[in-house]
Amino acid sequence: MIKLLKNKLEKYFSIIKINFSKVLVYKYSFLIEIISLLFQFTASVYIWKYILENSPQIKNYSVISLTSYLLFSTIIKAITQNTTSIDIEKDIRTGNIYNFLILPIDYIFLYLFRDIGSSLGRILLNSWLIGIYGLLFFNVNIYYGIVNYLLFFISIVFSILIYSEISILIGLISFWTVSQNGLRYANSVISAFFSGSLIPLDFYPDLLKKISLFLPYRSIIYVPITILQTNTIYSNLFQLLIQFLWVSVLFFINNKLKIKAFNSLEIVGG
């Protein structure tokens, strides 16, 4: 039993390892990614700094805590990015997907572990670069409690999983639409807005805030950072629970879709 489990884990562990080293190979393209993220960060810091300086202390945020929020949001954005939906679409379009059908690996787990691996690579490669940029050029606060950081890291693992699962979902939909550029684009834009990556969701009008409660996107960026920045342990644990629920729900949906898709799979040529 233990041997079986060990075998299984080894399989997935090597997937993580492969994708971790893949990130290191394409380091230049990740550098470009970071620079573009930093420009976005700079632009939004200036906008919100201006607003807060003219009407200080709205919604319990000071300039420093908001700048730190934006910095952490940039870091999480850099960590969670993936190409999963593009790759799944490619698998389907080229018929390459049969390769995975004959392997003793679960298709969804394959991509989940792949994203964990590349996210680990990104943590090592670029998250600290963003942090240094923020510390050098802006006034930010990174001193939070140890418990906060601990919960924050757990929460980031969940957010990597949630974002990866959403990407897998979009990828699987292309079983029925063949090519899914539009859907992918819409997803990235909506997630940028509802995940709270531009500003904390507290700043949104009530209607938009309510909508965001029913979407998984807020668990990707807003939740981890609020866990880091607030000290009420029970609400933090509750947020973690919600994240975990989203992970399970999305996994369930993906699994159902996968089974449905694989049953109706037709590969032309091969």
Footprint on this chain of another protein (rule: CB under 8 A): 26, 28-29, 32-33, 35-37, 39-40, 42-44, 46-47, 49-51, 54-55, 58, 177-183, 185-186, 189-190, 192-193, 198-199, 203-205, 208
Please state the closest distance from residue 221 (CB atom) to another protein, in A: 15
* Residue nearer to another protein on the CB measure, 26 or 153: 26
Please calculate the CA angle 72-77-83 and round it to the nearest 5 degrees: 160
Q: CB of residue 51 vs another protein: minimum separation in angstroms?
A: 5
Q: d(Cα 142, Cα 10) in Å, to the nearest integer? A: 36
- Whichever of 15 and 166 has its CB closer to another protein, that residue is 166
Which residue lies nearer to another protein by CB, 19 or 180?
180
Beta carbon of residue 195, minimum distance to another protein (angstroms, whole number): 12
* Min dist. Cβ of residue 232 to another protein (A): 24
Nearer to another protein, 34 or 108 (CB): 34
Instruction: Give me the half-sphere count of Cα atoms (radius 13 Å) on the Cβ side of residue 69.
Output: 27
Q: Which is nearer to another protein, 15 or 66 (CB)?
A: 66
Q: What one-letter code names the amino acid at 93?
A: R
Q: Rounded to the nearest 5°, which phi and psi values hold at 195?
A: -85, -10
Number of helices followed by number of strands (H, E) in the chain? 12, 0
Residue 183 C-beta: closest distance to another protein, Å: 6
Structure-block tokens of residue 16? 């993580």
Which residue, 129, 137, 122, 123, is CA-closest to 67?
Answer: 137
Would you say 57 and 66 are in contact if contact means Cβ atoms under 8 Å apart? no
